[in-house]
Structure formats: C-alpha cells, structure tokens
Amino acid sequence: MRVILAAPRGFCAGVNMAIEALELAIEAYGTPLYVYHEIVHNKWVVASFRKRGVVFVSSLAEVPEEDHLLYSAHGVSPEIRRQAAQRRLRTVDATCPLVTKVHHEAIQFAREGYSIILIGHAGHDEVVGTMGEAAGRIHLVQSFDDSNHVQVEDTDRIAYLTQTTLSMDDAEVIVERLRQRFPTIVGPSKDDICFATQNRQEAVKVLSALADLVLVVGSGNSSNSLRLAELARTCGVRAKLIDGPDDVDLAWFSGVDTVVITAGASAPEDVVQGCVELLCREFAAEVETQAVSTRHERVSFRLPPELKEP
Ligand code: SF4
C-alpha cells in the first residue's frame, strides 16, 4: 500500500493563533478559563484543553462576572460582545482575522444600504457571528436551490459574502446563479473563502486522481474537513472523515493500493501521524509526502492585543 500525505494539510494560521492565544491566556490568568464555544472545531484540541481546566460555554450566564473569556477562532456576534460587557467580562478575542474581515464587509455593506446574501451553513458559529453584524439585512443561502429562491428588498443594491470554509466549487456555482438573477450584485473585493480552505481543497483535487481512498482527518463539526471529504467524493473517490485512528475500519482498505491522507484546518498533526502509523503497521504501507506541494503556506497571524501585556 502507498500512503500519500497531502500538503498543505492540518492546522492553518487562524487555528495556530487561536490555540497559542489560549495557551498564553492559561499561563496569564490560570484556570478555570472560559471560552465561548469550541476554540476550534476539533475533538482532540477541545478535550486536551478541557483536561487542563478550560471551560467551553454556550451561554455567557455560565461565566462568573468579571472573569476572563476567550472568543474562539470562529468569532462571535455583537450580541455576545454586548452580553460580555454587561457582565464586565475581561475578554480576549481570538477570532481569525479572515473571519473578522467578513464581519467588516457585512458591516460596511449594511452601512451603505445593501441587502446582503451570505452563502454559508446555518448554525455554524461563523455564520451566526456574521449575520449578527448586519441583523435584518442578511439573507442566508445554503445551497444552489436556495439561490434560486432567495428574495431581497432592493434588487439594485445587493451584495454577497461567503463563509470562509465553503467548497470553492459549490460557492462559484451559487455566485454565478446569483449574478444571473441579480446582475448588479457586488461581492467582496477579495475572496472570502480563506487561503487555507482553498489550498487544502486544491491539494485534494490534485491527489484524488491518484487515490483509491481518501482519509480526511477532522471532526464532524469542522466545516472545512467536511468539504474536503465531499470534494474527494465529487472527484469520484471514496472518502472517509475520521477523528483519528480509532475510527478507522480495516475493511475499508480491501483492494486499495493508494490512500491519500489529508487533514482539516483544525486537525492536529500528531493525530494524522497516528493514522499513518496504523496503516504502516497493518498494511506495511510506504509513505510519501505529496511530491509537489500545491501551495506553501507562510501565513501567520498576530496574537490578540489583550495578550501582549497580560
Ligand atoms: S480555516 Fe481560514 S478562516 Fe478558518 S481559522 Fe483557518 S485561516 Fe481562519
């Protein structure tokens, strides 16, 4: 068996920044330390911080007044910021700057009187946050079918935005349909689907041509991981989304010569290596790193300013 490790894969700049921010906050403020929702959408990352005394909350009522609270990489809505201020919480904002960029675009378009169509998935933390920035002006489109039916107040002044972790191909088809229906629609000056999502999808597209099976390491609530598995299937390859080696069923590999392994932007590399070790042990697999990395990522984001002078 040949195992090809996709590149780039795993942690992105936003996830690295959010995890480092949480590490520094634990050092500076001690535990229990509160985080609004999961710091990143990965079961291992969340479990390891939970063990160290981090408390992930879904309501600010769970946080004692004046205590410290971190906002996760996916960002929060203004309503959460308002509640935090009301409870005099000392907040650290670990929102990925590329999510914040989409929030700013929503605010700007709303200020200029646009009706906004947000392409994204209902209930995802990032979508909830972005919709909250321009409440009453944003219409959510989740699918091509939605793009056929969405209605806006003013069809002459209409803008679209996208969630950062969408499938590039799905989003393109939806945007094209919106352009047909609303010829004056405007979009963000620079793509909202982030570089990390695009690069991981590009690598899977290239490597699917070589694979009999694609393993995507990532959690079921990780949007970009789900999209990688979907993309491989669209390319005609069987794909499995796994949290780690324990989810692997050896029966999947019957008749399989080449396995491609990739990882969503919030999946730790040691879990990826655990999966590789399993395949080496069970099938004497030979491991190759993708011969030509589709992209080199040299992006890093600054830590939240609150942590620079703890
Ligand atoms: S996937 Fe993209 S938007 Fe999300 S944290 Fe990573 S860099 Fe930021």
184-189: long-range pairs with CB below 8 Å, 24+: 184/155, 184/156, 184/157, 184/158, 185/117, 185/158, 185/159, 185/160, 186/114, 186/158, 186/159, 186/160, 187/159, 187/160, 187/161, 188/102, 188/105, 188/161, 188/162
**Binding site membership of 213 for ligand 1 (Cβ less than 6 Å):** no
Q: Which atom of ligand 1 is nearest to the CA of 265?
A: 1
What average pLDDT does the chain have? 95
Reported confidence tier of residue 291, pLDDT bands at 50, 70, 90: low
Residue whose token pair is 């950062």: 164
**Binding site membership of 15 for ligand 1 (Cβ less than 6 Å):** yes
Ligand 1 centroid vs 154 CA: distance in angstroms? 32
Q: What is the pTM of this model?
A: 0.95
Report residue 222 as tokens. Answer: 């990780």
pLDDT digits (tens, 9 = 90+) for 62-92: 999 999 999 999 999 999 999 999 999 999 9
Average pLDDT, integer, range 53-65:
98
Please give the radius of gyration of the chain, using alpha carbons only, rounded to the nearest integer: 20
pLDDT digits (tens, 9 = 90+) for 19-52: 999 999 999 999 999 999 999 999 999 999 999 9
In the chain, the percentage of residues whose pLDDT exceeds 70 is 98
